[in-house]
Amino acid sequence: MTTAGLALTVIIGAATPPGRLSRAATALADAARAERPDLRVTVVDLAATPVEICDGRSEAAYGDATRAAIRAVREASAVAIASPVYRASYPGVLKNLVDLLPVEALAGKPVGILAMGATAHHYLGVDTQLRAVLAWFGALVAPTSVYLTSGDFESGELAATAAVEDVRALARTLVTLAERVAGTTLGPAALAARTRG
C-alpha cells in the first residue's frame, strides 16, 4: 500500500506559549515526515489557536478556528496528542477539544500519546486518563506512549538520545498503523457510537 493521501494531525494540548512540549511535538511531526515524505502533517496548537468552549452547539455553529481544529482531526489518518501533565492529568483545553469531536473523528483511528512533566513521577498521569477517553471513541491507541521530562531537553531542544529515539519510534508507529488500517473498518463499533433501541 502506498502512503499517498495519508495525513497526520498533531495536537499540542496546552494553553501556554510554545515551549518544550511544542518542540517535542515538532520533532514527532518531523520524524513522521522523514518516515513518509508524502505524509501531510497538520498541527493544531491550542495555545496559538484556541478553540471555543464546547457547549452543545452543532459543529456548524462554532467559529472558523474551532471547525478547522475538528476537521483536522476528522480528516487525519492518524493523530498524535502532545500534552503536559497538569494537576495530575491533561489540561482542560485539551479535554475541551476532545469534547468537541464527534465519535467518528477518532473511531478506529491510530492515536499516539506524547506527554511531558517536570519529573518522571507523573509518567502515567496523562496516559491512563487519556487512554480511557480514547477507548470511549474506539480509537486505535498506540500500545506505548512517550513521556518526557525537563531532563530530556538541552537549551530548550529535545536532546536526550533515548527521548529522541522514543519520539521517532512513536512517529513510525503512527505512520505504520495509518498505512495498515487505511480504508479498513475496525469493529465492533465504539459503544459511544451505538444507538440503543
Q: Is residue 50 part of a domain?
A: yes
**193 burial class (0-12, 13-18, 19+ CB within 10 angstroms)?**
middle
Higher pLDDT, 52 or 186: 52
Q: Is residue 186 part of a domain?
A: yes
Closest CA to 125 of 163, 96, 83: 83
Domain that holds residue 100: 7-193
- The amino acid that residue 17 corresponds to is P
Q: Is residue 1 part of a domain?
A: no
Domain count for the chain? 1
pLDDT in the model for residue 183: 80
Q: What is the pLDDT of residues 12-27, one digit of tens each?
A: 999 998 899 999 999 9
Residue 3: which pLDDT band, with cuts at 50, 70 and 90? very low
Q: Is residue 2 part of a domain?
A: no
How confident is the model over 32-44, as a mean pLDDT? 97
Q: Is residue 89 part of a domain?
A: yes
pLDDT in the model for residue 195: 63
pLDDT in the model for residue 4: 53
What is the three-class DSSP state of 33? helix
Cis, bond preceding 143 (omega within 30 deg of 0): no
Q: What is the pLDDT of residues 82-105, one digit of tens each?
A: 999 998 889 999 999 999 999 999
Closest CA to 44 of 78, 82, 17, 5: 82
Q: Is residue 37 part of a domain?
A: yes
pLDDT over 80 (residue 2): no
Percent of the chain at pLDDT > 90 equals 80
pTM, to two decimals: 0.93
CATH of the domain at 58: 3.40.50.360
Which of 52-56, 60-64, 85-89 is predicted with the least confidence, judged by mean pLDDT?
A: 85-89
Q: Which residue has the cell 479535554?
A: 95
How confident is the model over 133-146, as a mean pLDDT? 96
Buried b (16+ CB within 10 A) or exposed e, 110-142: bbbbbbbbeeeebbebbbeebbeebeebbbbbb
pLDDT over 50 (residue 1): no
How far apart are the C-alpha atoms of 174 and 32, rounded to whole Å?
8
For the ranges 17-26, 47-56, 68-77, the one whose mean pLDDT is highest: 68-77
Q: What is the pLDDT of residues 102-125, one digit of tens each?
A: 999 999 999 999 999 988 887 888
Higher pLDDT, 30 or 182: 30
